């Protein structure tokens, strides 16, 4: 199981929100490239880069940060936040992202999303399923829908999507443990799905619990920045796996 550190961006800085609340923002580093290089130096291969400004605005804002990290590291980067058109999708790939993370558009314009899967390949797209009370949320988690998370993931899985990460918004940034029951339910319903867990991870025990239930990866943010998971622990995990 891959550990995928998250770098969330506001005003070009590395930040974290609590439960997706833009008013509950903590700035951890003003230089995201420095953070990305620290991860790469210990053997991390993947990076989850989120343009929170873009998610809120509905158009990409922090493309320069993506370009900088992609051109100065060898990390496999998935980038999301504000990708609402094929032009913006192209710009993300041109800037160096290996995968584009799509959430809101897959909900609001599924036919457009499916056309991107056909054109670019399922391997280039990562579907973000953000969940509140088992329902999908969109627009940087600011808007709830009545779409059931399992129904949503099933539709996209059967369209060929391979890269799916799921965030329980109630867990995100709370450092109180991930939504194990949610992930087990999803994987039971969709047998061949390898899901990437996101939200709530507070320590390495949480990481190992997600590995045990069969998650394909875990996105970790606040636990690293708050020192709940140390660089040495990350390094040890990578070396052992």
Residues classed as catalytic: 8, 130
User: What is the sign of the dihedral through the CA atoms of 2, 228, 164 and 71?
Assistant: negative
Q: CA-based angle 14:17:19, to the nearest 5? A: 155
Beta bridge partners of 9: 14, 51
| Separation of alpha carbons 190 and 214, rounded Å | 12
| Separation of alpha carbons 125 and 113, rounded Å | 9
| Separation of alpha carbons 51 and 75, rounded Å | 17
| Separation of alpha carbons 28 and 31, rounded Å | 9
**Residue 60 token pair:** 């990409």
Q: Which helix (H) or strand (E) holds 119?
A: helix 110-120
| Separation of alpha carbons 153 and 190, rounded Å | 9
| Separation of alpha carbons 89 and 60, rounded Å | 10
The closest alpha carbon to 195, from 154, 223, 224, belongs to 154
For the residues of 143-158, what is the DSSP string, one character each?
EEEEEEHHHHHHHHHH
């Amino acid at each position: 199981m891959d550990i995928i550190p998250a770098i969330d961006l506001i005003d070009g800085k590395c930040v974290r929100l609590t439960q997706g609340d833009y008013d509950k923002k903590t700035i951890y580093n003003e230089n995201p490239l420095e953070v990305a290089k620290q991860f790469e130096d210990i053997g991390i291969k993947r990076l989850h880069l989120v343009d929170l400004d873009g998610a809120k605005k509905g158009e990409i804002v922090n493309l320069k940060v993506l370009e900088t990290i992609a051109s100065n590291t060898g990390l496999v980067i998935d980038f999301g936040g504000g990708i609402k058109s094929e032009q913006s999708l192209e710009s993300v790939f041109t800037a160096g992202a290996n995968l584009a993370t799509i959430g809101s558009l897959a909900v609001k314009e599924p036919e457009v999303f499916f056309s991107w899967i056909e054109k670019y390949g399922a391997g280039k797209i990562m579907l973000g399923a953000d969940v509140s009370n088992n329902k999908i949320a969109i627009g940087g988690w600011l808007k709830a829908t009545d779409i059931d998370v399992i129904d949503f993931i099933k539709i996209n899985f059967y369209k060929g999507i391979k890269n799916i990460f799921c965030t329980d918004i109630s867990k995100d940034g709370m450092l109180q443990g991930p939504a194990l029951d949610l992930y087990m339910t999803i994987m039971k319903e969709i047998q061949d799905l390898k899901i990437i867990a996101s939200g709530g991870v507070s320590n390495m025990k949480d990481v190992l619990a997600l590995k045990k239930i069969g998650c394909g990866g875990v996105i970790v943010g606040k636990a690293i920045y708050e020192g709940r998971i140390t660089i040495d622990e990350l390094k040890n995990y990578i070396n052992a796996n």
